[in-house]
Structure formats: structure tokens, C-alpha cells
Amino acid sequence: MSDLLSRRKHPIHLPNMLRHNEPVIVFLTVCSANRSPILANAQMHGLFVDAWLMSRQWSVGRYIIMPDHVHLFCSPASIESINVKTWAAYWKSLMSRGLRGYGPLATVDGVEAVPPLLTQNVLKESMSSPTNHKSAIWQRDVWDTQVRSSDGYHEKWEYVRMNPVRKGLIKNPDEWPFQGELSNLSW
């Protein structure tokens, strides 16, 4: 069985459950289409935060935005919350509409929220790939893993916050501007 799990190419997307009368914390990874480096900038950071706050089905804890993917910890707002895959599709849709200039995320504080890189080469290359839909900004699926313990949560966070250091983008993980915490997801 473990050999089968290690060869999985897509996550299982388990249902929302309470474990020991505590909500589940999920570690989620979402990638840009073709792993295009379009996500780590101030305007996208604002769009992520706005989309997560607008999509109230789940609470977002700690997160880090890398150039081509985002890692976040999240928890269902209630036992009736939609599953994590549907929730991620919803906020990815909000962001995509905002990037194209329509929808509630089209402006942030009265300023157009389309990062310059997206309107130039990177988004055009991402959208013109024969493997993607014409307007793809995101990879289709997401990767989610239920965090099993407080230690696992902290270990996973320490690992992902070192991503910009391992990629040579910064020397100290605290210097990375595209990270934060929206809700305290405590054990």
C-alpha cells in the first residue's frame, strides 16, 4: 500500500474532518501554469490575501509565495465547509478574474492590480503553451496534505520558509516579503 501512495501523482483530497474535536489543518501547494515565475511580487501578494479573505470557507494561517508556487496552511471554517480543492479553485478563479481586469479583485485600494510582468512576456508565454488552456494562470490541481501534529506543522513551516533561501533569492528567511499569517491556526 505505501508503495502505491509513494507513486501517486495527484492528492486524494480527503473530506473535512474533525480529529479529536479539533479542526484539521491542511498544508496546501498551488502552482502557476508551466511553473511560470509570476507570483512573487507585491501586487500578487495583495491579490492572494484579498482572495483568501473573500473566500471565507477556509481560514488561511501561515503562507509563503514563491515565484512559481504558493504554500499555505489552512483549516475549514466549519465542518460544512467545501472541500479544499473546490475552495482553492474558487480563490484561484477570483484572482484570475482580477488579473484580467474584472471582478472584485480587479483593483486593490483603487489601483489596478495587474502586475507589469503579467501583462508583458511571462503571462503571454504561460497562456500560449500548447499544454494549457488559452487563459491558464494556474496548474489545474492543488496538492494538499493533512498535518498530523503540532510538531509536523512547525517542521513543515520551517522547511517552506527556507524555500527562498534554498533558491538563492535571499540569505535570511525573515527578509522574504511575500509571506505572512492571516489566522492563527493553533493546535
CATH number at residue 121: 3.30.70.1290
Q: How far apart are CA 153 and CA 25, in angstroms?
A: 8
What is the rounded average pLDDT of the residues 107-134?
Answer: 44
Share of the chain above pLDDT 70, in %: 69
Question: Within a domain: residue 135?
Answer: yes
Name the residue with higher pLDDT: 62 or 133. 62
Please count the structural domains in the chain: 1
Q: What is the pLDDT of residues 148-173, one digit of tens each?
A: 888 888 999 999 999 999 999 999 99
Whether 187 maps to a domain, the answer reads no
**Does any domain span residue 163?**
yes
Q: What is the mean pLDDT of residues 53-73?
A: 96
Q: Is 186 within a domain?
A: no
Contact 155, 187 (CB under 8 A): no
Residue with cell 475549514: 76
Q: Which domain holds residue 26?
A: 2-181
- Between CA 50 and CA 140 the distance in angstroms is 21
Q: Say if 14 falls within a structural domain.
A: yes
Q: What is the CA radius of gyration of the chain?
A: 17
pLDDT of residue 117: 38
Q: Are 29 and 70 in contact (CB under 8 A)?
A: yes
Average pLDDT in the 65-75 region? Answer: 97
* Spatial separation of the C-alpha atoms in residues 6 and 1, rounded to whole Å: 9
Task: Determine the average pLDDT of the residues in 13-26.
Answer: 62
In-domain check, residue 30: yes
In a domain, 159, yes or no: yes
